[in-house]
Structure 1
Amino acid sequence: MQLANRSRDRVPASHEGLGPQRHALRLPSMDLNFTPEDLDEARRLNRRLAILPRLRMETALGRVALNAMLRVAELYPLIRGSQTNATRTLKKIVALNRPVKLRIHRPAGECCGIILDYHGGGWTIGNARMGDDQNAELAVRIGVAVVSVDYRLALSNPISALVDDCEAAAVWTIEHAMREFGTDRIVVKGSSAGAHLAAATLLRLRDRSTLAPQIAGTVLFFGLYDFAGTAMVRAAGPETLVLHGPTVRATLYELTPGMTEEERRDPAISPFYADLSCMPPALFLVGTKDMLLEDNERMAAKWEEASGNSELLIAPESPHAFNRMGTSVAKKVESFVADWMLEKLAPAGAHSRSASDED
């Protein structure tokens, strides 16, 4: 594990040298020591992943197949039945003259904060429903409302339309927080494509002067922030775990048709090239086996340089989407993230309860 506070620990944007020689800074809220058994388990999973097909989305047929797999996966919680006492409501809101569908999970008691969640799926597949299990568990575990956004998907819509939906959902959540949830403390969370959309949304809110002080932080899992492609993305081959390297590059071009490489660096598309000053505290998370490692190293470093409040957690022996793979590494990281969110959601001067106390 590396947890680097970027103001104190500069980590080069490279996928080489990820061993113990890097200085680790651990937050006081949780001990993130990974045992040899944790790492052995992660390596065994990686060996299995290495022989499985990679996610390929460069063709319409591939996207249909992946969407079908997601739909089947969504049936599992329905068959198994709810494992929490969280309540789920579906809501269609209108903000900034844009209609957006939300899936809202609430705990049985009062909410200590709100998690605004943007799902992943390479911008072209997926939906908010695929996060129901994790979001319901999070709602109950730390006592928050989780507002998950069903934004429009790309190819049939430009990337800007997806950000439009995410921005509208954020504005509605900010404006209705107290009335709907009894709290105005918000953490924005995104995974993969959702992390990119979360960053782009926060930039829009800041530029519109609607980045309200109640946005206490943002948690960004393994996002891609440079549509021109980092050196690591450009070099990624078909052997990369989970993601298929050449497909990721092809998807970036497909999502930005007719654009030059310089145009793909437009801050409206690629948050890495934006002015990142006056942004809320950010926790970036990525695994050592993820082809988006460099994206997260560079983005965390630039966020720290501009806003002074960025942290980077690099999970050992972990590929893209590792937090959904049930390993001990993933569980420890998820507990750490829950504690981090609780710290940010707590009112100034208050001590938040530890998520690990709820286990």
Structure 2
Amino acid sequence: MTIDPEIQSFIALSEAAFPPDFAGLAIPQQRACYAALCRRFAGQRPQGVAVRDLVAPGPAGEIPVRLYRPEASERPGVLLYFHGGGYVFGSLESHDTSCADLAAGSGAAVLSVDYRLAPEHPFPAAVEDARSALTWVTRNAARLDLEPGRIAVGGDSAGGNLAAGLCFWARARGAPALAGQLLIYPDLGLPFDDPQRCRTADAPGLSRADMRHYHETWLGSPGTDDPAAAPLLHRDYAGLPPAFVQAVQYDPLRDDAEVYVARLQAARVAAWLDLQPGLIHGYLRARGMSAAARRGFAALVSALSGMVGHSAVISAG
């Protein structure tokens, strides 16, 4: 593997953050290790972004959400964001600076969703929370001084799954059209034995064994026949929102991204695959130490700006 040298240093630091017996630890202890790793690489929030903690109503009670609003943007569009973490890890804190940086760079607001996690809350809990959050922000955008007509969905890894699934759900309901989907190395449910999943079965940051474990924890088995848990099980891709899907070279989920974009394009949906060389799953945390990671993140910022941020405002005006 010709992994970017600075990413190799990131890998070493990341691996050192987890104890050798990590897989055998109780879930709360695993989450504490993951949270510590995220803090290790978090950095500081950028200037010029107002941050508010709010709650949205959900099927099992209130869902914590965090709104990042660029202070210089007047009535911005918004990205509804779902963090990664294998459906088991992650929180508003784990992706705090990533969301703040997305907002600062794009001119779009970002609304991060603290959905319920497995194994305490297996499928479909996270999906239900995602749907509730989209319903809430759609109804309350104007009250939050956001532009109701410019709502996009996005997320990384497991969060990319939830975001993509929302696009099918919103289309089925005849809901107002979403402005776009911003998916970052998404897990979209390509079967483990699919012949198209062949290039990078194991890579630093994520292995196929990791994926099986996360899927079993979330779904009860490594596979599913429910499109609500695996967007690639859908057959009809027509009428979905425009998509910017970023994949990285060394990642077993690279195939999910490539297959999804190909199906969207075949259905005449505007879709772009951004394959970043030399990077691994979870590279977002490496922005402070890797130029390649910063370039990958800059591509996301540019795409979000075009969907609901600065560029969208300019083209609309």
Give me the TM-score of the superposition, normalised by structure 1: 0.75
Matches within 5 A, 1:316-355: 316-326=277-287, 327-345=290-308, 351=314
Matched to 1:202, the amino acid is: C
Query: What SS does the aligned partner of 2:179 have?
Result: strand
Instruction: Indicate the SS of the match to 2:155.
Output: strand
Counterpart amino acid of residue 120 in structure 1:
G
Q: Is the 8 A contact 1:223 1:296 kept in 2?
A: yes
Tell me what 1:45 maps to: 7
* Structure 1 residue 236 displacement after superposition: 6.0
Out of 71, 74, 78, which is 1:108 matched to?
71
Does 89-98 or 310-319 show the bigger shift?
89-98
Q: Give the distance between the partners of 1:91 and 1:317, measured in 2 at CA.
A: 37
Larger Rg computed on CA atoms: 1
Between the aligned partners of 2:227 and 2:166, the Cα distance in structure 1 is: 12
CA deviation map 1:53-103 (0-9, x unaligned): 49899956164444113333565699x765423222111122678531101
* Distance across 2 between alignment mates of 1:95 and 1:65: 27
Q: Which amino acid aligns with 2:251?
A: D
Partner residue of 1:304? Answer: 265
> What secondary structure does 2:278 align onto?
coil
Counterparts in 2 of 1:61 and 1:84: CA distance versus 1, 3 Å: same
Query: Which residue of structure 2 lines up, in the alignment, with residue 244 of structure 1?
Result: 207
C-alpha displacement of 1:181? 2.1
Distance in 2, matches of 1:81 and 1:335, equals: 17
- Distance, in Å, in 2 between the alignment partners of 1:334 and 1:53 is 22
Instruction: Report the RMSD for the aligned CA atoms in angstroms.
Output: 3.4
Report the Cα distance in structure 2 between the residues aligned to 1:137 and 1:130, rounded to whole angstroms. Answer: 13
Counterpart-to-counterpart distance in 2, 1:84 and 1:51: 27
- For residues 207 and 181 of structure 1, the distance between their equivalents in structure 2, rounded to whole angstroms, comes to 27
Give secondary structure in 2 for the equivalent of 1:163: helix
Q: How far apart, in 1, do the equivalents of 2:113 and 2:28 lie?
A: 21
Q: 1:204 and 2:185 equivalent?
A: no
**Aligned partners of 1:250 and 1:149: how far apart in 2?**
23
Amino acid at match of 2:278: E
Q: Distance in 1 between matches of 2:31 and 2:66?
A: 19
Q: Confirm or deny that 1:273 pairs with 2:233.
A: yes
On the 8 A contact 1:58/1:251 being kept in 2, the answer is no
**1:288 is paired with a residue of what secondary structure?**
strand
Matched, 1:138 2:102: yes
Per-residue Cα deviation, 1:2-49 (whole angstroms, up to 9, x for no partner): xxxxxxxxxxxxxxxxxxxxxxxxxxxxxxxxxxxxx88x14533763
Confirm or deny: 8 A CA contact 1:233 1:245 kept in the other structure.
no
State the Cα distance separating 1:164 from its structure 2 match.
Answer: 0.4
- Percent identical among aligned pairs is 24
Contact 1:227 1:265 survives alignment (8 Å): no
1:187–1:217: 8 Å Cα contact kept in structure 2?
A: yes
**Secondary structure in structure 2 of the residue aligned to 1:180:** coil
Q: How has the CA–CA distance of structure 1 residues 71 and 293 changed in structure 2, closer, same or farther, with 3 Å as cutoff?
A: closer
Out of 165, 178, 181, which is 2:129 matched to?
165
Contact kept in structure 2, 1:219 and 1:283, CA below 8 Å: yes
Supply the distance in 2 between the matched residues of 1:308 and 1:98 (Cα, whole angstroms): 36
Shift of 1:285: 0.6
Q: Is the 8 A contact 1:95 1:169 kept in 2?
A: yes
Which AA in structure 2 matches 1:163?
Answer: V
> Does the 8 Å CA contact 1:100/1:150 hold for their aligned counterparts?
yes
82 and 338 in structure 1: CA distance in 2 versus 1, 3 angstrom threshold: closer
Please identify, of 216-225 and 108-117, the stretch whose mean Cα deviation from structure 2 is larger: 108-117
Asked if structure 1 preserves the Cα contact closer than 8 Å seen for 2:77 and 2:151, the reply is yes
Residues 1:310 and 1:77: Cα distance change in structure 2 (over 3 Å): closer
What secondary structure, in the 3-state scheme, does the structure 1 residue paired with 2:186 have? coil
Match of 2:275 in 1: 314
- Report 1:247-258 matches (<5 A): 247-257=210-220
Q: 1:178 aligns with which of 142, 146, 155?
A: 142
The one-letter amino acid of 2:255's match is E
> Shift of the alpha carbon at 1:150?
0.4
Matches within 5 A, 1:53-92: 53=15, 59=23, 61=25, 63-73=27-37, 82-92=45-55
Question: SS at the partner of 2:84?
Answer: coil
**How far apart are the structure 1 equivalents of 2:306 and 2:285?**
23
Give the aligned partner of residue 23 of structure 1: none
Structure 2 alignment gaps of length 5 or more: none
Distance (Å, rounded) in 2 between the aligned partners of 1:101 and 1:59: 28
Alpha-carbon displacement from aligned partner over 1:152-191 (angstroms, at most 9, x marks no partner):
0021112211000011101111111122124121221110
Matching residue's letter, 1:270: A
Quote how far apart the aligned CAs of 1:217 are.
0.6
Please list every run of 5 or more consecutive structure 1 residues that lacks an aligned counterpart in the other structure: 1-38, 354-359
- 8 A Cα contact 2:154 2:160, kept in partner: yes
